[in-house]
Chain A
Amino acid sequence: MDIIFLMIGVSIVIAVVFFILFIKSVKSGQYDDMYTPSVRMLFEDEFISDKSKVKESKSINQK
């Protein structure tokens, strides 16, 4: 039953790892701007589809 030491040790180590990750993410400024990233993540696709749209419209014009 000494396994309980190991179990507790592991659980605490995991908790501490998450805690350190949290501190790190705060430090990097992740929580300074809570709004922009939610919009930004929707952009990348738009840009590509737009390019293809431009090409399409150009090819239509050529016809």
Chain B
Amino acid sequence: MTKKTCFHCGNDCGSKPVVYDSKNFCCNGCKTVYEIFNENDLTCYYDLENAPGKIPEDIKGKYSYLDDEKIVEKLYDFKDGETRVITFYIPHIHCSSCIWILENLNKLNSAISTSQVNFPRKEVRVTFNCKAISLRQVVELLSSIGYEPLISLEDATVSKRKIDRSLIYKIGVAGFAFGNIMLMSVPEYLQAEEFWLDRYKFFFKLIIFVMILPVMFYSATDYFVSAFKGLKHKILNIDVPIVLGMIVLFLRSSYEVFFNVGQGYFDSLAGFVFFLLLGKIFQQQTYSFLSFERDYKSYFPVAVTKINKDRSEKNVAIYDVKKGDRLLIRDKELIPADGILIAGNAEIDYSFVTGESLPVTKKSGDKLFAGGKQLSGAIEMEILQTVSQSYLTQLWSNDVFKREKISGIKSLTDSISKRFTIIVLFIAFLAGLYWYFVDVSMVANVVTAVLIVACPCALALSAPFALGNMLRIFGKRKLYLKNADVIEDLSKVDTIIFDKTGTITNNKAKVFYDGELLIEKEIVAVKSVLRASNHPLSRMLYEEMEDVEVVEVSDFKEFVGKGLEGRVNDINVKIGSAQFLNTKNEEVLQTQSFISINGVIKGKYIFKNSYRKGLNAIFNELKSDYELGILSGDNDGEKQQLKTMLPENATLIFNKKPTDKLNYIKGLQNKGKNVLMIGDGLNDAGALVQSNVGLVVSENINVFSPASDGIVDASKFYKLPKFLKLSKKTLKVVKMSFVVSVLYNLIGMMFAITGNLSPIVAAILMPLSSITIVIFVTLGTNILASER
């Protein structure tokens, strides 16, 4: 049997595909999307890319809050008359087909005038006429074609971030000045004794001087600010010698120009600033589709449905939810605040919070915690705490989230530059002293030349280019770091703390069968019945039975929150909870599904978390260099098993609240440890922020990750030791490049001390040293990365 894959989404269609227009579909949802596209002449969607689609989710009623003008007010980017502009974040955007279909939204609904995709950010900006189509309809249209936008509380509370383009302007100014000043300096380089050139020399210099002003006072402002801040905190950071060099360059060149002594070093100055800014932009490159600043607001809904006393429903903004309110939580909706379950079958998926992938069943009267996702039908709950005071969300009131992480203060470059600055000042002093006795007129000349040549351009460039390049290499290997400084922090780590659930365990549970063995016919029947269900446990079980055939099922019934029933030929299958099958459940703590065939209970499937592949190897590789530890919010049921995997000195801590985790990390840091925290859920958010480096393991990097310094794709988790090694080696490359750049400075110093630093020597030496350093570190890091 050849496997048929869905024309729309590429999933396996099973043995009974839905056929339409002589194409196979895995489900009616996919078929419907195809129909929509087909009717509107948009089937080109499928020509650009193979099976680019996604099964549309059922969103009935989910977006009814978008009809409330007051709630959606803040979501708009722009509004004028009947025109509305809004930007949606759509996680599914992944290929050129996506861009194409989303930019042709106006073909689906003429009330949408334009839509523009920003692919790297996974955003689409839609302009529509609010008289002809409501925001809710726009969202529902997007959802109906499988592009459901993610609208979170953050969109409604945070003012729209402005894109900072100042660095590009600064580079533009510096580059413009650099090129033109070089051009104007050519006569001087050639030392041409030509009459006309000689005559207009001053005119040339004047133009050069005018062009250098914006470079000095606009492009270089960041360095002045940073050096000033450093001095204020009594730190000689790398920007101090840079700024010192720039000021001396500027003053001496101005003196030379206006007193007609020489031509000045303005070309070097402009080039210097230009190269420095290039390094900055290289290092700044980040992953715009990822956010490293997310807190619970990025996941919580904008509004919820409140049930009034008279049973009528009303949409209220999430911050208006008060203690005692009754809320209606629909299927696949998030619980916004702590409360008590009143009615309905609650099956809560807490994977956002704890990383636990198996849903938890709750009975009415049980407590529900904020952050869980309801999986089986609608429930009603009564709120006990407001949104910001819930068990999970109060974590964000901790001070850690308010202060900015101070990084880079003790960075390698700065510690070197401190010594460097002192030595340079010393040399300048000695050289000045020497010339004072030999030739007093040369003193100022030599001292300024020393300071100019010592300006650590190459030194300042090596770290940005080495780290920036490594950042990119890591990105290609699916470790996405917030910025280049994280690599340096990563290399200093000596303690690694892991969260348990979801971090070192898989999101795919292992399934064990306990009970009377099933004969093949029965297994086929069980799998066939499971196929029709979308419940996560059913999906897991279905995927577990890989090589089993699927046949047609009759009389299929799904009892939400309880179980499934179906008939295959003469076999009647029932799968579900103990309650559903009227049997006793001895082990309540386990997640399990019971099976009954023709009314007889045969046994049960037990779901257990399994550890990630290669976890043992990771621990073994890391234990010699790092102190390891486990910090879990769960019970200590797996303590014995973990003990055998971890080295003896490892610490295992269980039953920790989110704030406890944070405090534990703080305690380690007070003992002088550099801690790398590896977590995955919102309950780790505090620990991740507090730690020196917080890494998040994520199964789907686009959909979910708490605030952190870096995100590693779960499939590459086993490479962690290699990543750590690479970051250490990168720092070695940086150190080597420091040696090279100091050599250049020494050569320049020779010219300077002997009083021979002509503008042309400076103009050659400066770019030459910068370019060799850039080539050196780029090659170095690339070679490192290609090493096995």
- Chain A: interface residue total (CB-CB under 8 A): 28
Chain B 170-212 against A: per-residue CB contact (8 Å), 1 yes, 0 no? 0011001001100100000000000010001001100100000
> Which among B103, B104, B118, B183 is the interface contact of A32 at CB below 8 angstroms?
B118
> Is residue B100 contacting chain A, with contact meaning CB distance below 8 A?
yes
> Which among A19, A33, A46 is the interface contact of B100 at CB below 8 angstroms?
A46
Check B43 against A50 for contact (C-beta < 8 Å): yes
With A1-B196, A12-B180, A36-B118 already in contact, the answer to whether A47 and B99 are too (CB < 8 A) is no
Check A36 against B119 for contact (C-beta < 8 Å): yes
Check A34 against B120 for contact (C-beta < 8 Å): yes
> Which among A23, A39, A46 is the interface contact of B44 at CB below 8 angstroms?
A46
> Is residue B67 contacting chain A, with contact meaning CB distance below 8 A?
no
**CB proximity to B under 8 Å, residues A16-60:** 19, 22-23, 26-27, 29, 31-36, 39-40, 42-43, 46-47, 50-51, 54
Check B99 against A36 for contact (C-beta < 8 Å): yes
Nearest-neighbour CB distance to chain B for A21, whole angstroms, equals 11
> Which among A26, A35, A54 is the interface contact of B43 at CB below 8 angstroms?
A54
> Is residue B158 contacting chain A, with contact meaning CB distance below 8 A?
no
Chain B residues with Cβ below 8 Å from A23 are 169, 172
Nearest-neighbour CB distance to chain A for B163, whole angstroms, equals 6
Check B118 against A26 for contact (C-beta < 8 Å): no
Nearest-neighbour CB distance to chain A for B228, whole angstroms, equals 27
Nearest-neighbour CB distance to chain B for A59, whole angstroms, equals 15
> Is residue A10 contacting chain B, with contact meaning CB distance below 8 A?
no
Chain B residues with Cβ below 8 Å from A42 are 96
With A26-B165, A35-B120 already in contact, the answer to whether A19 and B44 are too (CB < 8 A) is no
Check B96 against A39 for contact (C-beta < 8 Å): yes
Total of A-B residue pairs, C-beta within 8 Å = 68
A29 CA to B121 CA in the complex, in Å? 14
Chain A residues with Cβ below 8 Å from B48 are 46
Check B41 against A40 for contact (C-beta < 8 Å): no
Chain B residues with Cβ below 8 Å from A12 are 180, 207
Check A40 against B99 for contact (C-beta < 8 Å): yes
Chain A residues with Cβ below 8 Å from B41 are 50-51, 54
Chain B residues with Cβ below 8 Å from A39 are 96, 99, 119
> Is residue A6 contacting chain B, with contact meaning CB distance below 8 A?
no
Check A19 against B172 for contact (C-beta < 8 Å): yes
> Is residue B117 contacting chain A, with contact meaning CB distance below 8 A?
yes
Check A36 against B207 for contact (C-beta < 8 Å): no
Check A50 against B47 for contact (C-beta < 8 Å): yes
A23 CA to B228 CA in the complex, in Å? 29
> Is residue B168 contacting chain A, with contact meaning CB distance below 8 A?
yes
Check A26 against B100 for contact (C-beta < 8 Å): no
With A8-B207, A47-B44 already in contact, the answer to whether A36 and B176 are too (CB < 8 A) is no
A4 CA to B47 CA in the complex, in Å? 59
> Which among A11, A33, A43, A51 is the interface contact of B120 at CB below 8 angstroms?
A33
**CB proximity to A under 8 Å, residues B84-122:** 96, 99-100, 103-104, 116-121
Check A33 against B172 for contact (C-beta < 8 Å): no
B104, B118, B119, B163 — most chain A CB neighbours (10 Å): B119
Chain A residues with Cβ below 8 Å from B121 are 33
Check A43 against B103 for contact (C-beta < 8 Å): yes
Chain A residues with Cβ below 8 Å from B200 are 4-5
Chain B residues with Cβ below 8 Å from A50 are 41, 43-44, 47
Check B180 against A15 for contact (C-beta < 8 Å): yes
A18 CA to B248 CA in the complex, in Å? 31
**CB proximity to A under 8 Å, residues B468-510:** none
Check B100 against A27 for contact (C-beta < 8 Å): no
A54 CA to B37 CA in the complex, in Å? 12
Chain B residues with Cβ below 8 Å from A27 are 165
Nearest-neighbour CB distance to chain A for B489, whole angstroms, equals 28
With A43-B100, A51-B41 already in contact, the answer to whether A36 and B117 are too (CB < 8 A) is yes
Check B196 against A19 for contact (C-beta < 8 Å): no
Check B47 against A46 for contact (C-beta < 8 Å): yes
Chain A residues with Cβ below 8 Å from B117 are 36, 40
Chain B residues with Cβ below 8 Å from A40 are 99, 103, 117
A34, A43, A51 — most chain B CB neighbours (10 Å): A43
Chain A residues with Cβ below 8 Å from B180 are 12, 15
Nearest-neighbour CB distance to chain B for A44, whole angstroms, equals 10
Nearest-neighbour CB distance to chain B for A39, whole angstroms, equals 5
Nearest-neighbour CB distance to chain B for A20, whole angstroms, equals 10
Chain B residues with Cβ below 8 Å from A35 are 119-120
Beyond A31-B165, A36-B99, A36-B119, 5 additional pairs, beta carbon < 8 A: A8-B203, A8-B204, A12-B207, A33-B118, A50-B41
